[in-house]
Amino acid sequence: MNVGIEAGHGLHYLSVTAAAQAIARKQLSPVELMKAHLARIEKLDPTLNAFIRLDGEAALAAAQVAEREASAGRLRGPLHGVPVGIKDIIDVAGLPTTCHSKILEGNLATADAVCVSKLRQAGAIVVGKLSTHEFAIGGPSFDLPWPPARNPWNPDHHPGGSSSGAGSGVAAGLFPMALGTDTGGSVRNPASACGIVGLKPTYGLVSRRGVFPLSFTLDHVGPMTRTVEDNALMLEAIAGHDPLDPGSTTAASGHYRTALDRGAKGLRIGFVRHFHEVDMPAEPEVTAALEHVMRGLQMLGADVRDIRLPSLVEFAAVNRVILQSEAWSIHAHWLRTRPGDYGKLARRRAFLGAGDYVIANKRRAEMIAAVNAALAEVDVLLCASSMDPACRIDRPAEVERTYPRQARTPFNVTGHPALAMMAGLSSGGLPLSVQFVGRFFDEPMLFRVARAWEQAAGMDKKHPPIG
């Protein structure tokens, strides 16, 4: 059976696209695919802790139904029979939404979040709920009911966050795709740390109804996959207007794969060097990897030029004031009545007071205008994602030092779509990353540039040395 399995790898590293196509052609059984992933989970998750709640029995039963439907030529949609993991701040009917916190232990969801419902309508099968940082903030904590997820490239290192189980599990082949959320970089951080593709879509493109909020005006739901094509396919399934989400947009969505293979020739790319060279100097290996990506795109025919934006320090300050102000409005009751049930990291990192919310939002409008002006001159921005490879998970001071060293929060502040992916490997064998940023609702252009780099550098063929 030839379903696009890479040499030396089993079904667990089959791409979403290849798996869905093989199932549609009756070349692959959804049951066979699910069993391969469940076996992989059984083998590796005791080390990686990607899952808070594995729903394996229900997933296998759903795969059996999907197999009968496929055999009869009845496909639910373009993801028919393909497994997906869900970050545990996103509701899945019948399973607890704990937000990885004692506060919500046993909090049973009565309905699917809209994004989960859309994945099911497209034929995807939920395998379970995934580790996160507590309430999607904080960091890798050891004082919570469940252990933190670990990095499959080296389990002594953290996998990024807060969509930590999603990043770890996709990279390790526990499932080929996952839903994460991103308020200050929480899809793109684990994508960067674990060497996968993570997209924060344009603000409002994907409904957040049924997702536990962190910051109403910064929260995004985004796809996490091993390939750019898979990411675009997943976005096609989850994007769309939701009149019951006040932040949802009515902009047209869909057809995100149309420009995938057009390459980078003739594109104008703005390199935001000052983020990693001046504002927050990156580790030398990160700088070298970004230069490598830049030269690679030039060799593919792109015109790369330097672009300046407001400083990372200023972006981070605006993000922090808005996030903490809005998070306080969500958590105030529990912080007053159950403060001891929060983990130490969440208590320390969030809820530090409102600050000057009005001034922050005024500056936010100016920052949006600055990024729009830059994107009027170029098609895509290229910049750093993380300034360091992932550090060890058992060194809290180093985790605390490196977590803010990133260039992701600017695009939560502005709402522009941003994609993080692997740029190479460090001398220690850990992923290095790059970030691409596009105009509002121009995700197809982001996918086009990311795919050009992915194909030229073979990034979709690199997997962790685990299992």
pTM (two decimals): 0.94
**pLDDT tens-digit readout, 93-145:** 999 999 999 999 989 999 999 999 999 999 999 999 999 999 888 789 999 99
Average confidence (pLDDT) over 146-152: 97
265 burial via Cβ count (<10 Å: 0-12, 13-18, 19+): exposed
How many folded domains does the chain comprise?
1
CA proximity to 321, closest of 371, 364, 368, 365: 364
Domain containing 196 equals 13-461
Q: Is residue 452 part of a domain?
A: yes
The pLDDT assigned to 1 comes to 43
pLDDT at residue 352 in the model: 46
Q: What CATH number did the domain enclosing 24 receive? A: 3.90.1300.10
Is 440 a domain residue?
yes
Closest CA to 198 of 443, 400, 374, 9: 443
Q: For residue 445, count other CB atoms closer than 10 A to its CB.
A: 19
Domain contains 450: yes
Residue-wise over 274-305: b if at least 16 C-beta within 10 A, else e?
bbbeebbebbebbbebbebbbebbeebebebe
**234 is a domain residue:** yes
**What pLDDT digit, counting tens, does each position of 412-434 carry?**
999 999 999 999 999 999 999 99
Q: Check whether the bond before 162 is cis (ω within 30° of 0).
A: yes
pLDDT tens, residue by residue, 191-244: 999 999 999 999 999 999 999 998 999 999 999 999 999 999 999 999 999 999
Mean pLDDT of all residues belonging to the chain: 94
> 262: helix, coil or strand?
coil
Whether 2 is covered by a domain: the verdict is no
Is the predicted pLDDT of residue 153 greater than 50, yes or no? yes
CA distance 28 to 22: 5
pLDDT level of residue 355 (50, 70, 90 thresholds): low
Place of tokens 């309905």: 111
Is residue 316 pLDDT above 90, yes or no?
yes
Secondary structure of residue 457 in the 3-state scheme: helix
Model confidence pLDDT, tens digit, residues 1-52: 456 566 556 899 999 999 999 999 999 999 999 999 999 999 999 999 999 9
For residue 5, what pLDDT is reported? Answer: 63
CA 464/CA 7 separation, integer angstroms: 15
The pLDDT value recorded for residue 312 is: 97
Active site residues: 87, 162, 186
Give the sheet arrangement for strand 431-437, strand by strand. 51-54, 125-130, 83-87, 177-182, 220-225, 197-200, 418-425, 431-437, 380-383, 268-271, 303-306
Return the pLDDT at 356: 78
User: CA 376 to CA 268: how far, in whole Å?
Assistant: 10
**Residue 91 tokens, joined:** 């509701």
Q: Looking at this protein, which amino acid is placed at residue 142? A: F
Q: Does residue 206 lie in a domain region?
A: yes
CA distance 192 to 178: 15
5 occurs within a structural domain: no
Domain assignment present for residue 344? The answer is yes
Neighbours of 93 (CB within 10 A): 15
